[in-house]
Structure 1
Amino acid sequence: MQIESRGDRIFNIINYTILTLVTIIVMYPLVFVLSASFSDPQTVLRGEMLLWPKGVNLNSYVKIFQNKDIISGFTNTLVYTSLGTLINLTMTILAAYPLSRKDFVGRNAIMALLVFTMFFSGGLIPTYLLIKNLGMLNTLWVMIIPNAVSIWNIIIMRTFFQQSIPGELQEAATIDGCSNIKILTRIILPLSMPIIAVTILFYAVGHWNAFFNALLYLSDKDKFPLQLILREILIQGQTNDMVKMSTESAIKQQREVEGIKYAVLVVANIPVLALYPFLQRYFVKGVMIGAIKG
């Protein structure tokens, strides 16, 4: 049994104390929003609810699931996220694999061109004109094609292929007669689940939270993603359709709107939070790429 020194014990105490404080700071807003969504909006407005639900009330959830805009936005976001992540992952793998091969001629020049785009872009107006000329305005593809690949994720995946998968495996497969496609599908990808999981999480969260492209390029409300609907509720105050017109006073209407805001925040974040546990065991290993040598 290893005996800790006095310095190690002091370090552990300080470390655990800091981590505990950080955990509390991160968790409190999440727990507060969840509790507020189940609480009586009046208690939330008065500041009577500090952490746990007070005056349990599910009316806010009933209202948001009866609202067709939220249901439509939720469905659109699921489509954008699923299809977009699939295209993102496919293009990232197809770009990262050849760039990781030492026998790929010109890979350094291509990598330099890709990195160049991380620092310089055409700008918002030229991008808008390009999308307009391609006929993608107010279509499904405008939420997917402009962000079809991330150079940063290509770099991360290429680094994983280079550092974590021995080149001898690829050489042995080539000697056995495997083509590049077979090497990729039968050797590289099965050994790359950590980085694939990390990439899926990064892309999926990015698509789920995306609203700026929708704000610029979509005009039909039935194509809006959930985040744009949420933006209208939280910023523009467009909650009149969700509040009954028989409201007796402005104060009561304000209470209902307050409850709806917290409930929508919870509904919007549940899918992403539910995705993480399935990828957790790969995520920890994937984010440590390049941190351990040998």
Structure 2
Amino acid sequence: MDESRTIRSTKTQIGDWVFVFICVLISLICVIPMINLLARSLSGTDFLVRHEVYLLPKGLNFDAYKTVLGDVKYIHAFVWTVILTVICTVVSLFMTTICAYPLIFENLKGRGVINIFITITMFFSAGTIPNYLLMQKIGFLDNPLVLIVPYCMSVYNMIIMRSFFYGIPESLRESAEIDGASYFRILWSIYIPLSKPVLATLALFYAVGRWNGYSDALMFMKNKDFYPLQLLLYNILNNINSVEVATQEGFSAPGLKDSLKSAIVMFSTIPILCIYPFLQKYFIHGVTLGAVKE
């Protein structure tokens, strides 16, 4: 009996070490490219030209960051993207909540049909050209609303929130109904306060999605004043190899262009990374509860 327990304990320890090794390996795969970008953005041009920069900066140089932070268009795009991300996150959470909440009531007429239609949209869409024609028809082309309204709710996130609502005891809702509370009062006073983990998780999903989004602006926006930061980054990285763009940015020398690329990527990535530590305690809890309760 003791031998079998010892063997099982040894196997468990080996399994734990294998799991730890896999987690460390995956973490390194994710972190090393970011470290390399940071090192390249802070390195001197001579070392970049000779491809000698890997994980640590060589010939410490802040010229790339001075160029990024000193250019009005970068700052304007950054501020606009922050505002856009906040607005989209708030609107998306509101739309997700008011869509998920009614679907938990069994007496809702047509609930099954509504669930089917909502789920179908996860797998089928009209396509790029019909979407463009629709935006043109409703007057959203070259309008900031095109970056907010069309993608203000994710069906996948709505299902997570609906599943989380299912996990809240019905006795709480029934007691509030007996006391005369309306449906909106029940949502505001009971469901919202108890749903902080899933709300924080979905806020992170929506914020990261909007911050990293550029395809909608690329298709629907022509006014450069409303270009989000990622679209500006996309255009710069596509054109920075040309002599004209490099000269305009003051990066005509070899190696300086690579430093600018890395600095721009870091400039657009670090802000959203700073949000994770504040929401991490809710992240796993919200996803787990929202995923297993149905």
TM-score by length of 2: 0.91
CA–CA distance in structure 1, aligned partners of residues 209 and 117 of structure 2: 24
1:132 alignment partner, one of 136, 158, 162: 136
Given residue 53 of structure 1, which amino acid in structure 2 is its aligned partner?
A: P
- Pair 1:14 & 2:18 matched: yes
CA separation in 1, counterparts of 2:246 and 2:79?
Answer: 20
Contact (CA 8 Å) 2:39, 2:55: kept in 1 or not?
yes
Instruction: Measure, in 2, the Cα distance between the counterparts of 1:32 and 1:131.
Output: 40
Structure 2 residue matching 1:288: 3-state secondary structure: helix
> How far apart in 1 are the matches of 2:40 and 2:277?
24
Change (3 A) 1:101 1:144: same
Structure 1 residues 223 and 197, CA, compared in 2 at 3 Å: closer, same or farther? same
Structure 2: distance between partners of 1:185 and 1:18: 42
Q: Are 1:242 and 2:249 an aligned pair?
A: yes
| Cα gap change, 1:207 to 1:291, in 2 (>3 Å) | closer
Q: Does structure 1 conserve the Cα–Cα contact (< 8 Å) formed by 2:40 and 2:48?
A: yes
- Is residue 160–residue 290 contact of structure 2 (8 Å, CA) maintained in 1? no
- Displacement of 1:291: 5.8
Matched, 1:99 2:103: yes
Which of 110, 118, 125 in structure 2 is aligned with 1:121?
A: 125
Aligned length: 285
Partner of 2:215: 212
2:161 to 157, 160, 163: 157
Q: How does 1:1-294 map to 2 (within 5 A)?
A: 5-162=9-166, 164-237=167-240, 238-243=245-250, 252=253, 254-289=254-289
CA contact (8 A) 2:141 2:220 kept: yes
Query: Which amino acid letter does the alignment assign opposite residue 183 of structure 2?
Result: N
Mean alpha-carbon deviation: is it higher for 259-268 or for 233-242? Answer: 233-242
C-alpha deviation, 1:32, in angstroms: 1.1
Contact preservation (8 Å) 1:233, 1:239: no
Q: Distance in 2 between matches of 1:87 and 1:80?
A: 11
Distance 1:30 1:184, change over 3 A: same
Superposition CA RMSD, Å: 1.9
Over residues 59-99 of structure 1, what are the superposed CA-to-partner deviations in whole Å (9 max), with x where a residue is unaligned?
A: 10000112222122112211221111111110000000101
Does the Cα contact within 8 Å between 2:161 and 2:290 map onto a contact in 1? no
Mapped to 1, the partners of 2:129 and 2:48 lie a distance apart of 43
Cα displacement (A) at 1:290: 5.5
- Structure 1 residue 292 displacement after superposition: 5.6
CA contact (8 A) 2:161 2:198 kept: yes
Distance 1:290 1:83, change over 3 A: closer
Contact 2:198 2:290 in 1 (8 A): no
Q: Which runs of 5+ in 2 are unaligned?
A: none
Instruction: Report the AA paired with residue 237 of structure 2.
Output: L
The alpha-carbon deviation at position 180 of structure 1 amounts to 0.6
Q: Which amino acid aligns with 1:89?
A: L
Measured after TM superposition, the shift of residue 48 of structure 1 is: 1.3
Quick check: 1:43–1:54 contact (8 Å CA) kept in 2? yes
Q: TM-score, normalised by structure 1?
A: 0.91
